[in-house]
Chains A and B, each alone.
Chain A
């Protein structure tokens, strides 16, 4: 029988078995509720945005009500006008953070301090157009900033970075645990003997990892997809570009899962019959935790620094660190490429090695296989 057919049969069985347990459905619903809830929470905590806009006198009649009307569709945002005597005075209050934007009607410009607020500029644009009875689509106002954009990542970027890292860490640990408990259970209740009489161990391993990985991916795609859509749709008061960083979580889950789930499966195959899945998986879980915290510390200290850069491309940490760092300060394309190549190479090496150890470990009843004999097995021709 062909390998792909066997792998797909095994993978489909894994998916059916996990869906039967309800743990998957309830955890998915819980995480979706958390993401949805965070939007709701943001609304409750922040009942409505008020844009403070400075305008140089004289203010044309009708500007204030036009701004109010234009702001209404944006979650009932309010606009507070402040009249200044000159453009110069306006720049001063903007610099002093007394207002969020300066509207210069004489030369059709809207000036922000250091970052352009897409919503505020849309509101001002709409209002001015209405006032002048112009039709879309040409923008009425050019936007600019007083200062170059700040180097420090914004609050939203930090939140996205850590949420992405945490989500990846939890997904890898959670679904990795499913893999190892599946392997240990199969081994302990001896069903593996029956399965391996008809299936190559590599195909069993592949089917199991792919089946559980697909479930994890589906869950993450729902969660990350919802979050990314909320960002792009402007549900959060944050740059839409962060939505792309959230989407990065998905390919890196696939890569990270391939790496860690195969390791978990091998650890499960090598476990003795007395060991349960949790203790057998400890070395992998500890590695995952160590990598997560190393990434956290390195990114908090200096997201652009050498250590953060190293962790971005190192295969064991890349899946957790790269998406987070991308949200914080961006990752240069060559580092994306290097991380991808190194991680893929590690997966390739690991899968080749795992095939042998897995087969031997599963059939090695009773005592735990010594590392030494596992090593011999890997090196025999």
Chain B
């Protein structure tokens, strides 16, 4: 059953056209270190975002995600390490081909949306005509075409977020770095953004975004990197990481189980319990049949599933404090 789920999602990714092959080039963060006073924000942090791939950048608050992203744009001067694009050290010329959505959103409040996007496009090297065309295209794509002449401060919160996204995309960047792009979005906007990011990766852009919405990351990203205290604690393909975990997830829906029932099987850890549903993490070598048999002894088993832990489970396992 778990295998089916994975296969189904792989099929979904295929259909969106995301390339699975790791092409040459893209972004490489090589052994970055940065200390702020007494805090080590980045500690020998290395990872890569190949072109055409979408990387979920995970870590608890204060893990160093924002610092790493700002380092890509030279907004923080690292103490050691390099940021490379296609194997070359990143300078201003490379950055003009990058798109950035900073953690703290900000546009010129009194400048009309369309004019602002054109300006940002031109700052990234577009001609006036190309900037105008790209602005119109993105405003339409994000449903802001009616708000082109409106000042940013007159936009609703959701529309401001869209304008901010358009600002990162208007110059058709080869690398897209987004700091918490999904934070504060409603489910519709989440879907739109996910589609935009998928199509950007399909176009060949390297996409990296940070997020705390692990279910979402699991759904849309093929690769993740997890950092903690400025260090990379896991990196790779989401499914490979999940399969490589030492634990397995087990979900049971029971009818008539005694309250507080738990299997006696060694190493079973309760993750979640509600009504008849019990979610467990067990050691990888625990035989699921044993747990199922135990459950059958006390109740009627309505549903049972077994498989690799979710990304959220894995995250908690890796950054347990």
Contact = CB atoms under 8 A, between A and B. Distances in A.
A195 B104 contact: no
B125 A194 contact: no
A290 B93 CA distance: 44
B123 A9 contact: yes
Given A9-B122, A17-B110, A189-B109, A200 B92 contact: yes
Contacts of B119: 9, 13
B75 A198 contact: no
Contacts of A190: 102, 104-106
A211 to B, nearest CB: 13
Given A9-B119, A17-B111, A20-B110, A193 B125 contact: no
Interface string A18-47: 001100000000000000000000000000
Contact of B75 (A6, A10, A197): A197
A350 interface: no
Contacts of A194: 100, 102, 106-107, 120, 167
A371 interface: no
Interface string B109-133: 1110001000110111100000000
B104 A6 contact: no
B106 A191 contact: yes
A197 to B, nearest CB: 4
Contacts of B106: 189-194
A163 interface: no
A363 interface: yes
A196 B76 CA distance: 11
Given A17-B108, A17-B110, A20-B110, A196 B123 contact: no
Nearest to B126: A1
Interface string B303-315: 0000000000000
B85 interface: no
Chain B contact surface mostly: loop
A198 B125 CA distance: 9
A21 B111 CA distance: 11
Contacts of A186: 108
A199 B123 contact: yes
Nearest to B97: A198
A17 B152 CA distance: 13
B73 interface: yes
Q: Name the residue in A13, A21, A194 with the highest tally of chain B Cβ atoms < 10 Å from its Cβ.
A: A194
A114 to B, nearest CB: 58
Given A13-B119, A190-B102, A198 B96 contact: yes
A6 B120 CA distance: 11
Contact of B108 (A21, A191, A200): A191
Given A9-B119, A198-B124, A199-B123, A193 B96 contact: no
A189 B109 CA distance: 8
A17 B102 CA distance: 23
A348 to B, nearest CB: 24
Contact of B107 (A16, A191, A197): A191
A196 B111 contact: no
Interface string B159-180: 0000000010000000000000
B95 interface: yes
A241 B108 CA distance: 47
A13 B120 CA distance: 11
A1 B110 contact: no
B110 A198 contact: no
Contacts of B98: 197
B122 A197 contact: no
Interface string A224-256: 000000000000000000000000000000000
Nearest to A16: B115
A193 B92 contact: no
B130 to A, nearest CB: 13
Contacts of A198: 92, 95-96, 120, 123-124
Contacts of A13: 111, 119
A199 B120 CA distance: 10
A196 B111 CA distance: 18
Interface string B69-99: 0100111100000000000000011011010
Which 4 A-B pairs give the minimum distances between C-beta atoms? A190-B106, A197-B73, A191-B106, A190-B104
Interface of B: 70, 73-76, 92-93, 95-96, 98, 100, 102, 104-111, 115, 119-120, 122-125, 167
Given A13-B119, A189-B109, A193-B100, 12 more contacts: A1-B123, A1-B125, A9-B122, A16-B115, A190-B104, A190-B105, A191-B107, A194-B106, A194-B120, A196-B73, A197-B102, A199-B123
